[in-house]
Amino acid sequence: MAAKTTEHFVLIILSMLVAFGPRFIPLRIFSTRKIPVWFNEWMKYVPVSLFTALVVKDIFIDANHGYTFTGIGNLAKILAAIIVIAVAYRTRSMGLAVVLGLVAVTLLTFALAL
């Protein structure tokens, strides 16, 4: 247990450094210089690509069996995801999207197991 805690502590410190670099370095450089256009243009597509990949991993990939594609095996999550997209688009509220997403996946998992 103590070894696990140390490991987690190291993970937090390394995560902090990894999180701090991208936040600080451009802030420091571009508070005196101009931002290169190509950098901005490329960075624009990084979040959407990464977020989609992560969402797809949770909904369509079975990480416990060699990262295989599950199709509509996770129907509860697929339907809940559609609800979350609709809520996010309509309300633009992060809190509401997350809470309703959790409620939807709980109810759907329960309902589809009946």
Q: Name which of 45 and 114 has its Cβ closer to other proteins.
A: 45
Verify binding: residue 92, other proteins, rule CB under 8 A. Answer: yes
Taking CB under 8 A as the criterion, which residues in 72-91 touch other proteins?
A: 77, 80-81, 84-85, 88-89
Site for other proteins contains 25 (CB under 8 A): yes
List, in sequence order, every residue forming a beta bridge with 12; answer none if it has no partner: none
* 5 is a site residue for other proteins (CB under 8 A): yes
Q: Other C-beta atoms within 10 Å of 59: how many?
A: 17
Site string for other proteins, 30-69 (x = CB under 8 A): xxx--x-xxxxxxxxxxxxxxxxxxxxxxxxx-xx-xxxx
- CB of 105 within 8 A of CB of 76? yes
Under 8 Å between Cβ of 101 and 80: yes
Cα distance from N-terminal residue to C-terminal residue, the chain: 38
Q: Please tell me whether residue 2 binds other proteins under the rule CB under 8 A.
A: no
Helix pair 75-91, 94-112: axis angle to 10 deg: 160
Shortest approach of other proteins to residue 33 CB, angstroms?
Answer: 9
